[in-house]
């Protein structure tokens, strides 16, 4: 009798767990692992509901009237859809309403195009002219060789006496290798924060390791924090490029030059789905070490100038860089 009771209890527990995984797996799996977990068939309805739930529970503007309207439209599309292709556009509209202009639902076809572009992604470069080392820090995809990217930057700046950090045209991507590569130049501690209704989450530099923003990475390099640093930005500097700019804001030895940035100074979380689509959702705004909060507006450099490089070189020369 006891064995039958225990067996029945075991069956009930297993059934409850499987039911929980079936209904909650897509959203809870995404929240905890970054991947939506579907037990059984990931039907268009289950897919759509998972995307919509993530947008509603995580999006920075999920309490807006715009999202409320877009949610109703997306729910109607979910109920009538026979395929995921019918859902991408209404879900994209809801995602952007919940997360703002920095958010998006990337379809499988678009995801494949991104993967193909990784091989041709611009690599960081180092140029030394006299006493000034210019490090070009381009955008980098999360699936690229992020360790090699960071190592190249770190090797170029660890022994420099003056540095120009060129973030012009850096459209973003994985912040981790950008900050890790530049970590020799940054003091230990919190470099910037992600500000949301849940609180402030730090992006931290510890020696030549970085955590809290993008891929956590370490580089084998020496610290080199007490040198003049010029940061170059333009209207093509966006997302993680803007966050990297802000990591230097508030440092006495760093000054920025160029044009106002693109205005995507916010933090995205990426959720992957089994069909190779993925959700990029804005969950926080960037906040610098001084407590200033950014977001959808362009970030102004310390000096707005047309000739960013020329102005940076002049400033560096004034500080003993020849």
Taking the chain (322 residues) in runs of 10, the rounded mean pLDDT of each run is: 49 37 49 56 87 94 96 96 94 97 92 57 90 96 91 97 98 96 98 94 98 96 97 97 98 98 94 91 96 96 98 94 78
Closest CA to 220 of 145, 128, 158: 158
Task: Tell me what pLDDT residue 198 has.
Answer: 85
Domains of the chain (ranges, CATH numbers): 2-115 (no CATH), 121-268+283-318 (3.90.226.10)
Task: Tell me what pLDDT residue 7 has.
Answer: 46
Question: What's the longest Cα–Cα distance across the chain?
Answer: 89
Burial readout 88-115 (b: 16 or more C-beta within 10 A, e: otherwise): bebbbbbbbbbbbebbbbbbeeebeeee
Task: Tell me what pLDDT residue 34 has.
Answer: 54
- Distance between CA atoms of residues 23 and 75, nearest Å: 17
Task: Tell me what pLDDT residue 112 has.
Answer: 67
Q: How much is the pTM? A: 0.83
Task: Tell me what pLDDT residue 118 has.
Answer: 45
């Amino acid at each position: 009798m006891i064995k039958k009771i225990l067996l029945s209890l075991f069956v009930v527990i297993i059934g409850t767990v499987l039911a929980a995984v079936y209904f909650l797996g897509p959203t809870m799996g995404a929240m905890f692992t970054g991947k939506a977990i579907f037990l059984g068939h990931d039907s268009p309805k289950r897919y759509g509901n998972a995307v919509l739930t993530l947008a509603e529970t995580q999006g920075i503007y999920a309490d807006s009237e715009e999202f409320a309207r877009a949610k109703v439209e997306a729910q109607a599309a979910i109920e009538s859809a026979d395929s995921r292709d019918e859902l991408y556009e209404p879900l994209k509209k809801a995602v952007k309403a919940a997360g703002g202009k920095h958010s998006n639902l990337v379809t499988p076809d678009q995801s494949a195009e991104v993967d193909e572009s990784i091989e041709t992604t611009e690599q960081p470069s180092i140029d030394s002219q006299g006493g000034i080392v210019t490090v070009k820090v381009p955008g980098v995809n999360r699936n690229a060789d992020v360790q090699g990217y960071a190592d190249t930057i770190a090797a170029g700046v660890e022994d420099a006496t003056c540095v120009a950090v060129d973030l012009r045209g850096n459209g973003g991507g994985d912040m981790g290798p950008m900050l890790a590569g530049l970590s020799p130049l940054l003091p230990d501690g919190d470099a910037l924060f992600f500000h949301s209704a849940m609180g402030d989450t730090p992006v931290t530099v510890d020696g030549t390791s970085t955590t809290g923003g993008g891929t956590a990475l370490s580089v084998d390099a020496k610290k080199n924090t007490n040198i003049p640093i010029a940061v170059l930005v333009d209207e093509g500097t966006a997302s993680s490029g803007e966050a990297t700019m802000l990591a230097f804001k508030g440092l006495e030895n760093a000054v920025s030059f160029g044009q106002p940035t693109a205005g995507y100074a916010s933090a995205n979380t990426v959720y992957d789905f089994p069909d190779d689509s993925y959700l990029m959702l804005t969950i926080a705004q960037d906040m610098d070490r001084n407590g200033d909060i950014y977001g959808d507006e362009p970030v102004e450099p310390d000096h707005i100038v047309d000739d960013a490089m020329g102005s940076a070189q002049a400033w560096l020369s004034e500080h003993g860089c020849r």
